[in-house]
Amino acid sequence: MTTANKEILKQYLADIPQVADKINQIGQLLNFLLTENQNLNLISRKLVFADIVKDHVYDCLSAVSYFTSYSAITDLGSGGGFPALLLAIVFPDKKVNLVEKSVKKSQFLNKAIQHLELRNAQVYEKTLMQTSEDLDIPCDVITCRAFKSIVEILNFTRKFFHHNVSYLLYKARMETIESELILAAKKFSIQYEIHRVAALLEKERHMVILRKSSDKI
């Protein structure tokens, strides 16, 4: 990682104490991602390093404090590794499960885990269109970013509801979140909190913390 790129990472992550000693490893991840992205469509090839840090790394890690009380994280639709690989770096003592249906992206994620020597991360090459019984991955929190609507996520992961799992969902505009929650509340009894994150970004970014007590008949 160049000195200039390292300074960009420090600039955006300066106010996130959990990552203070992880800058070099995060930079190592980004270098590997950029190399692999020449042949894979993981992120837009038009983005310069500063944009990748701002739109992906900072966007994910601005909400990292919400994960501190959990021991096992499952990320749905892990794709290019955001936020799962970042969480595995920041929390080496937590188990991080990466669920990704694309063979090519799963291969990338496995290569990244080996490259970064992340002993706490494991990739599951699965599709959420399978029955919920096929997605039996022990965890106490589920997360995802730029993924499905809230009601779809709850539908796809019904089996986890029997294990008192929580959801930390990366979401964008408040208007969309409120609409998704209205639909979810028609099918499930839910409790939720909404927190604004990523204050340095011009676009809206929120963390939706959600728990479910039961299905509605």
Query: pLDDT digit string (tens) for 93-113?
Result: 999 999 999 999 999 999 999
Q: How does the average pLDDT of the chain come out, rounded?
A: 91
pLDDT at 77 > cutoff 80: yes
pLDDT tens for residues 127-141? 654 544 556 788 999
Quote the pTM value.
0.93
| pLDDT of res. 162 | 65
| pLDDT of res. 131 | 44
pLDDT at 82 > cutoff 90: yes
| pLDDT of res. 36 | 92
In the chain, domain spans: 64-215
Residue 2's SS3 state is coil
| pLDDT of res. 156 | 85
pLDDT tens for residues 198-211? 999 999 999 999 99
Least confident range from 42-46, 137-141, 170-174, 208-212: namely 42-46
Which of the listed CATH numbers 3.40.50.150, 3.40.50.720, 3.20.20.70, 3.40.109.10 matches domain 64-215? 3.40.50.150
What residues have CB less than 8 Å from 116, skipping those under 6 apart? Answer: 25, 28, 29, 32, 85, 88, 89
Q: Measure the CA–CA gap between 24 and 134, rounded to whole angstroms.
A: 37
- Mean pLDDT (whole number) for 19-45: 92
Q: Measure the CA–CA gap between 3 and 175, rounded to whole angstroms.
A: 40
